[in-house]
Structure 1
């Protein structure tokens, strides 16, 4: 996020609003259903609600999304380490991937949780060190704010509703709402954490408390981005060829700040690594869990706990190697990392989130409608995303960058008219004519942060259009434990609450629900940690 703020301004402060919206949705709608069912895999819900084929398709999509995401998160700190050490990028990628895979495979979920705690503390210390040192070096808040005004970075009140504007209050708030919503409520990485809590109440508390560190990190990142711009206001390191990728600007900033303080640049690299280690370790654990629960146990339901443990560890090693290869592949790209991550999640996450929303809130849609919605959502996001890459659609207007104070002769004061950042290339060019199709300046130019919202919307539309032809289900025949009413609070009139049940009978909690029996995922994690031979068979 500091790079995004450096390039596009403080409009990213609206990311915090999307986080609040996401957590509210998770608390009210998704956590009660998932905790009630005690799912082994988050995609198991789609089998219970729709069809086993839907579960397998979305599970593959989710795993592909997670692997690309983890590849990008490995690439980021590897790039930082290669920028401040003599090691090449390929070596740092191998070290990062191997470290994450090792302690995830050997230590299981317990190792992941404990390392997350320490890594978060190191991240906070590293980021705060850069923020405070940067403020002192630049000269204080007044100078920083003045630089932000001159560079047009103080743009958090940009409310233009045009979806082609890459970074506006609307595209950040609603675009990241769908992205973070998918990551929070439809992703095995997060769901396995919420289900590890003993009760629904505890899960809700965990989700609520998690808002605090996320928003704190976001605000520190925004602060670092603005301070970084004030520091490089008259000598952008990319244009002056001091770095070769824009994502290297943050480690470069740390080196410039702490060049006379031994160890501090290393602290920043450690902070960057901690964020990645935390994410990758959880992701590898989630991938191995999805493979076992969605593809192996349905075929071999009587595997012993020891066999499941062995398969899980082998899968962790396999996915760790695959993530390393993807990181190598992505290192060939010149794209902005945050945009690439958001686009990839939007491709897969938007339609998947649409399916879960249909399942929980729309009892009149059956598996035929859901399949139609999934296909339409994927088709739309794929069409627009690929077309944007092919035609290099302009999705952003860059803010001013300067090299007037640089000690170089090849560059002069430069104001960028455009930044074209599409997955496999980042180009800084002047405005030129194009022979692209008419859609070039319309739908192909939609902000990549809105791909998730587009996929979600098209999934809902596709599900209803398909159901017009295949028939709607009768909500009265629905299995009530798979649904959550849109409005079910006692502060609303009873007639309104009945209406928003859409005919689904009220759910009556059973004794087993209140006891919150552990799922297969919990048992597998327990076996990983305790190395016991006790286990249960999969219920499917």
Structure 2
């Protein structure tokens, strides 16, 4: 690959990195966090907009930024219809999960598991989160580095070193506030670079109508597939059902998200931030989907993958950028800044959240008498060490198939069981610690078996999915490659593959969650259900909480007093008080 970048491109890119460094210096030396809690979750006076935007950009990693357009190019826009589940997720998140975490204001989400169950479950939760993040972070860095290597000529290890270095610096120095404000800046780079590319590329091929026409003709632009199938790669029912579980976990329960919500002063502000997060996420995923349609319309007659113009599908968007914006000095640099912003925001959020988990769940239980200075040192060392570890692992990540699918599949090994354990605690007051612990552990083993089995079948070609057609008849050079990408998928029998391996990856989190909940309730039954009145109402979802309190007059008095003392103005507390007056 040759270097297609000019001096203005590098200038724009370096400015973005410098501003991130300056934000870190500002929060590290001028607005110094007073203590570790403020370093990790802010001083609870953040405002809604920066937090909502920070939630989105930490959610939209470079894997989505580059992987989703490639997904649309190969398989069509079916994945976009997952956005239809946002409305369900909004209500489920705001009325079941978010109130619990906002009332408790925990630095580590997994502290909830100890309070509601016991220490061993907290350790299991922390371990699953750390495991998930360490699997994910190398992908977050490596994917954009590989894609950008092709269009810039900069070696992948130099890009990964730059991103990790800058990110470790500002996250180490400034904590959560530096993370949130750099996210705010990075959102500008991500959106502006994407819009610039989309507008210019649409103009180049003759307008919006041409994009639609070419994609409809090849079946990329289509209505949702409403077939009730567990093995079809993506259908609307499996995306709505499975995607709801995934998004509740990714949008609320993940440590890096919870830390942002509790940085807000009130539950109402947290709920607003969550709705805004869902709205902005839908807009950004819409832009990424449209990018996939434009890529196909642009390269309609000369597929860059078959002809080896690019070596991986995730390089399609960078290729479009360089081809579309070559007449605009600095524009490609803006896009590079946008992609790396997506990486930086995800990496910094995860580093900060891992620092919180390691301090609260790994160090504090062992070293009881840590001084504030020691705590500060521990969180900064954790950020540094995990950053370096990510850098090392990123260099070992090889081509791993469809990146978006791989991320969902690997993530689901731990996210399903984790969501199951939290749900047992929040919705089922009679679930006990033994039930939750053994169900969580079993869920992890069960999902590992399914996910790794399915990934090995995909890698060996024993499972294949139908891809949309591509063409090379308009290329201006000779093609020696065989057109393997359009190979018929009717020449193999998928029924020879074990059924559980064929289940769509969209259902993995849901399967892990439901398996864990059912097994947890069965084990709780055989080991003696919890008495409902023994569970602190604050650990339960509001709709379960009110029943718990009404069944127990002593708990009612304590709860009302507790809410009065802590100024937590919960709607049911007021209602219950009114009922007692009546």
Please say whether Structure 1 and Structure 2 have the same fold, judged by a TM-score greater than 0.5. Answer: yes
Q: CA deviation at 1:55?
A: 0.5
Deviation at 1:116, TM superposition (A): 0.7
Matching residue of 1:295? 362
Structure 1 residue 474: Cα displacement: 2.1
* Structure 1: distance between partners of 2:464 and 2:548: 42
- What is the Cα deviation at residue 134 of structure 1? 1.5
| Secondary structure in structure 2 of the residue aligned to 1:401 | coil
Taking the aligned partners of 1:156 and 1:70, their CA distance within structure 2 comes to 34
Q: Does 1:83 align with 2:150?
A: yes
CA positional deviation for 1:459: 0.6
1:373-402: CA deviations, max 9, x gaps?
213322221111122233335252212122
CA distance in 1, matches of 2:253, 2:551: 24
Decide which of 475, 483, 486 is 1:416's aligned counterpart.
Answer: 486
Pair 1:417–1:501, CA change in 2 (3 A): farther
Match for residue 320 of structure 2 among 225, 243, 253: 253
Task: Choose which of 431, 438, 452 in structure 2 pairs with 1:365.
Answer: 431
- After superposition, the Cα gap between the structure-2 partners of 1:58 and 1:32, relative to the gap in structure 1 and judged at 3 Å, is same
**Corresponding position of 1:136:** 203
Taking the aligned partners of 1:157 and 1:311, their CA distance within structure 2 comes to: 49
Paired residue total: 494
**Residue 245 of structure 1: how far off its partner (Å):** 1.1
In the aligned structure 1, how far is the partner of 2:112 from the partner of 2:549?
Answer: 21
What is the SS of the residue equivalent to 1:152? coil
1:124-177 deviations in whole A, cap 9, x for unaligned?
100101111121112122211111112111223211121211122223323322
Find the counterpart in structure 1 of residue 537 from structure 2: 480
Distance 2:101 2:456 in 1: 40
**SS in structure 2 at match of 1:510:** helix
- CA offset digits 1:40-95 (Å, max 9, x no partner): 21001011111100101110110111222222111232123212222211221121
Please report how far the alpha carbon of residue 415 of structure 1 lies from its aligned counterpart in structure 2 after TM superposition. Answer: 6.2
**Cα contact 1:377–1:457 (8 A) shared by 2:** no
Q: Does 1:457 align with 2:482?
A: no
Look up the match of 1:338. Answer: 404
CA–CA separation in structure 1 for the residues paired with 2:552 and 2:311: 59
Give the unaligned 5+ runs of structure 2: 1-67, 570-582
The answer for the alignment partner of 2:96 in structure 1 is: 29
Tell me which residue corresponds to 2:445: 379
Partners of 1:363 and 1:473 within 8 A in 2: yes
Distance 1:371 1:112 in 2: 33
1:352 aligns with 2:406: no
Aligned CA distance change for structure 1 residues 367 and 309 (closer, same or farther; 3 Å): same
Q: What's the TM-score, normalizing by structure 2?
A: 0.80
- Structure 1 unmatched ranges of 5 or more: 419-429, 489-496, 517-540
Cα distance per residue 1:416-456 (max 9 Å; x no partner): 246xxxxxxxxxxx55547x9x6615221111222111111
Task: Report the equivalent of 1:510.
Answer: 563
Q: 1:305-341, CA deviations, whole angstroms, 9 ceiling, x for partnerless residues?
A: 11110111111100101111222222x1232221121
Confirm or deny: 8 A CA contact 2:161 2:391 kept in the other structure: yes
Q: What do the CA deviations read for 1:266-323 (whole angstroms, capped 9, x no partner)?
A: 2111111111111111110111111001111122232111111011111110010111
Whether the 8 Å CA contact 1:403–1:412 is kept in 2: the answer is: no
Query: Distance between the aligned counterparts of 2:414 and 2:271, measured in 1?
Result: 26
Aligned to 1:45, the other structure's residue is in SS state helix
Structure 1 residues 112 and 512: CA distance shift in structure 2, 3 A: farther
1:402 lines up with 2:471 in the alignment: yes
**Match of residue 221 from structure 1:** 288
Q: Distance in 2 between matches of 1:510 and 1:110?
A: 29
Equivalent of residue 205 in structure 1, options 248, 263, 272: 272
Flag the structure with higher helix content. Answer: 2
Gap change, CA 1:367 and 1:296, over 3 Å in 2: same
Asked if structure 1 preserves the Cα contact closer than 8 Å seen for 2:94 and 2:271, the reply is yes
CA distance in 2, matches of 1:502, 1:19: 34
* Cα offset, 1:470, TM superposition: 1.9
Deviation (angstroms), 1:499: 9.2
Q: 2:377 aligns with which of 310, 322, 326?
A: 310
Separation of aligned partners in 1, 2:86 and 2:358: 29
Q: Is the 8 A contact 1:63 1:287 kept in 2?
A: yes
CA distance in 2, matches of 1:206, 1:230: 36
Task: Specify whether residues 283 and 175 from structure 1 end up closer, same or farther in structure 2 by C-alpha distance, changes over 3 A only.
Answer: same
**Match of residue 580 from structure 2:** none
- The C-alpha deviation readout for 1:202-226, integer Å capped at 9, x for no partner, is 2112212222321211111111111
1:535 aligned partner:
none
Q: Using the alignment, how far apart are the partners of 2:245 and 2:251 within structure 1? A: 10
